Chain A
Amino acid sequence: MIKKITLILIMLFTVNSFSQTATVDTQVVTSEKNSPSIVVERGPYLQTGTPTSVIVKWRTDIATESVVNYGRVLGALTKKETNRALTTEHEVALSGLTPNTKYYFNIGNLTEVLSESVSGDMYVITAPNPGTDQFVRAWIIGDPGTANAFQRQVRDAYYNYVDTTATNTGKTDMMLFLGDNAYSTGTDEEYQSAFFDIYDEMFKKSVAWSCLGNHDAYSADSATQSGPYYDIFTFPKEAEAGGTPSGTEAYFSFDYANIHVISLDSHHTSRAIGDPMYNWALSDIQNTKQDWIVVLFHHPAYSKGSHDSDIEDRLIEMRENFMPMLEANGVDLVLNGHSHSYERSYFINGHHGLANTFSLEEITKGGNTVGANGKGDGKEDGDGAYQKADTDPEGAVYITTGSAGHVSGGELNHQAMYISLNKLGSCVMEIEDDGKGGQNMVIKFIRETGEIDDYFTINKTGVTSIANTNEPKSESGKVHYVAGSDLLTITVDRNERLKKVKIYNNIGKLVKKSRKKTINVGKMPKGMYAIEITTKNGTYIESVTIE
């Protein structure tokens, strides 16, 4: 029986390596020579990657210990993380890693290595520190889980793209799944054939993230966070990878380089304003200082594909309830699936009504398209990139990209869409320097044929600008402080006698009282303070940052 499984696995690997012509030398070797008594049936795959940690998961046919050997040099995996408990569902967290660093690894138990890549295709590159401006590539996969040839073609087209692209060849920083990862009910077996068997190779070197789709939800129970979807994925509910702690894997956020990614559950969780997911998303987006904000959820805010955002409740609620809030707080890109097509919007803002109320010409504040280029194609070699200046940070592109496993048509005539295609494919997002102190977010739709049927750029200025240094001017003109100095000076008019000065810290607590015009603040902790100045003419309250 065990031998049979091994054989099947070997056959799967063979199929994989045939289909990935561009990467023939990257097959993962299950150490056959020792004929291990234990078979790795799933994974390894990577979860919740942060600058200093990552979770490695895999499944074995027989319960055994969990060991991950890892290190920066392929031939010298000198570090080891061990979990001695016997299990078939292995989950090992590596921590204390260096940001932005490649670690090779293999997996096994206390006696042997069960899965490794001799060619070095089993590794994790830790996330850069938040705020880092560097090249980032994300592979975006919507509604893939058919386990059929279409899904493999779409996958292979991306593999080929990433292995032959001129810059940062072979680098996929993250996989963003948009839900419906395994048809038709997201069972464990379906996840095996439509998810693990398909993307096995990429899972060994790129962290996979997801949001919940309706088909995942048939077997997953968000109410109890149980079922295959929640067992398979390990998402950060305590903001382990940045963002705000949601307390649930159903919705969460994370930071990667200078991108903040928010994943919402548009299926099971209440989408009402004021309910927990909304409150969390609001606090989360209003707490980020990242340059780019990307939001994913399954049910599209705009679609006229196999689903209609004018008449389906979840789609309407996401658009009406979440979009105004996300837009007011600077969202750049919204990724949805559910409709099995590719529909990509103009550079839009404030369109929360029905498709036929969208107007390309409406560009005033809160209007439908943003900026001079907003109603164009967004192509640098066409109408020009969409512009997002730091003086006017409005506008986002919405992509419904649910054709990574099949297409299912629809009218495909949503007015907000620049382009609507009933074509198989997946998307790639690449963020790169624009050479002018800003960055470009470039998105491409890669067909199953390898053709790029759509692409566009959002250009954002002021990305690399350092923190704001112009200290606000004193409102009353009475407080003077020079950064780095020990002294705070109060000046009052000649006939305005100073009576007292009170200094409050950043939570409004009184920390110092004085009657003098010059106050030594050298020993006070750095930070923001409020100064209350009382003269015989009245009281003035001002803020000052001591640094």
Chain B
Amino acid sequence: MQNGIKKTLFIVTFSLLSAQVFGHGDLTKRINEKTREISESPKDFRLYYERGLLYQQHIEYTKAHEDYLKSKSLGNTDKALQYRIAEVNYLAGDYNAALKSITAYLEVNGSSDVKAKKLEAQILFELGAYKKSLYAYRYVIDTMKDLRPEDILEYCDIILAENDKNQEVALEAIESGLKLLGPNTLSLQLRKLDYLKNSGQIEKALEQYNYFILEYDRREFWYYKKAMYLAEMKRPKEAIISLKLATATIDRLDMKFKNMNAILKLKEQIKSLEAQLK
């Protein structure tokens, strides 16, 4: 599971880096426009803040940071600025500085700011302070009005980072997420499946596959995924049954679906798994 998180982090980092080579359309134009405005009124802290935001969107974190500090030195005491300083430090990977600024922010503005709490949790996570991170994120989960499935998943990542044997705790978090966001929220049900498989709860994992099969209108993909898992678990006969059901489901699809590339590929996959199992 640790691996999973590292992988995610790697992808995140990688995409942040690779994003730098791409442009953002009119952002450059707007940055230039702001720069022009700044040259006209160089003492206006609002302008530096606004350009900082643009730089931040343009993934130019150093410049954004400089603009924020400049805005602050010119007298900007807005709490939004304080938050952005923490955020840009976090995005730039300077987690110690980020923690310092978010802590200051929370001290001044009270610790009830959910968005800031979330950032604090994310920073603590990066610093490896998993227990503290969990504590902060728990507050986010309990308080945020409109929680997203991504929040629950992130919370689960922290739970497992803190202790990779805590699959059960992560599962509980998923269950509570399902209660909050709707019992069939796909990404949470998928994660539940992952945890059941990773913790070796084979029967429960199979039940989870059955949940997908029964809940969905089109079942062919779920039958195949269940068959793959059964094959992995060295239960070939059950795997074949699931493959037969997959094929029968495909046979009953409307012609246009039968001829779709995703289904043609699935049929190949079924065939090859069937051949392996014989």
Contact = CB atoms under 8 A, between A and B. Distances in A.
Interface of A: 221-226, 230, 237-239, 244-250, 269-270, 272, 276, 279-280, 283-284, 286-289, 291, 306-308, 311-313, 316, 327-330, 338, 390-394, 460, 462, 465, 467-468, 472, 504, 506-508, 528, 530, 532, 541-545
List the 4 closest pairs (A to B, CB-CB), nearest first: A247-B185, A225-B146, A543-B248, A390-B256
Contact of A237 (B24, B182, B241, B252): B182
A393 B258 CA distance: 9
Given A237-B181, A467-B254, A472-B248, 14 more contacts: A225-B147, A244-B186, A245-B182, A270-B150, A279-B187, A286-B221, A312-B23, A316-B22, A330-B260, A338-B25, A508-B242, A541-B241, A542-B244, A545-B248
A223 B260 contact: no
B80 interface: no
A338 B187 CA distance: 28
A247 B185 CA distance: 5
Nearest to A508: B241
A331 to B, nearest CB: 10
Contacts of B251: 468, 472
B26 interface: yes
Contacts of A307: 25-26
B256 A462 contact: yes
A468 B254 contact: yes
Contact of A247 (B114, B181, B245): B181
A223 B149 CA distance: 10
B184 interface: yes
A276 B254 contact: no
Contacts of A530: 241, 244-245
How many residues of B sit at the interface, in one of the four size bands?
35 or more
B4 to A, nearest CB: 11
Contacts of A392: 259
Interface stretch (B60-68, B96-104, B164-172, B212-220): B212-220
Contact of B255 (A276, A465, A542): A465
Interface string B249-265: 10111111101111001
Main secondary structure of the interface of B (DSSP, over half): helix
A284 B186 CA distance: 9
Given A223-B118, A246-B186, A543-B247, A308 B25 contact: yes
A58 B210 CA distance: 42
Given A289-B217, A313-B19, A313-B22, A391 B187 contact: no
B241 A247 contact: no
Interface in B64-108: none
Contacts of A504: 241
Given A226-B146, A276-B153, A462-B255, A532 B241 contact: yes
A393 B260 contact: yes
B150 A276 contact: yes
A230 B147 CA distance: 12
Contacts of B247: 472, 543
Contacts of B218: 286-289
A223 B256 CA distance: 38
Given A237-B181, A247-B188, A289-B257, A508 B145 contact: no
Contacts of B219: 506
A250 B148 contact: yes
Per DSSP, chain A at the interface is loop
Contacts, number: 175
A138 B114 CA distance: 39
Interface of B: 11, 15, 19, 22-26, 114-115, 118, 144-150, 153, 177, 181-182, 184-188, 190, 210, 213-214, 216-219, 221, 226, 237-238, 240-242, 244-245, 247-249, 251-257, 259-262, 265
Contact of B245 (A226, A230, A239, A528): A528
Contacts of B150: 248, 269-270, 276
A289 B111 CA distance: 48
Contacts of A222: 148
10 contacts: A225-B145, A225-B146, A246-B185, A247-B177, A307-B26, A328-B261, A472-B248, A508-B245, A532-B241, A541-B237
Nearest to B239: A508
Contacts of A330: 256-257, 260, 262
Nearest to B11: A272
A17 B114 CA distance: 45
A287 B184 CA distance: 14
B256 A393 contact: yes
B8 to A, nearest CB: 9
Contacts of A245: 182, 184-186
Contacts of B213: 506-507
A436 B61 CA distance: 59
A327 B260 CA distance: 9
A290 to B, nearest CB: 10
A329 to B, nearest CB: 5
B186 A329 contact: no
A312 B24 contact: yes
B256 A247 contact: no
A230 B254 CA distance: 37
Contacts of A221: 115
Contact of A226 (B145, B184, B226): B145
B248 A327 contact: no
Nearest to B227: A508
Given A276-B153, A508-B238, A528-B249, A238 B184 contact: yes
Nearest to B146: A225
Contact of B252 (A226, A272, A545): A545
Given A223-B118, A462-B255, A287 B216 contact: yes
B146 to A, nearest CB: 4
Nearest to B57: A214
Nearest to A281: B186
Contact of A225 (B148, B188, B254, B257): B148
Contact of B190 (A224, A279, A327, A394): A279
A312 B15 CA distance: 13
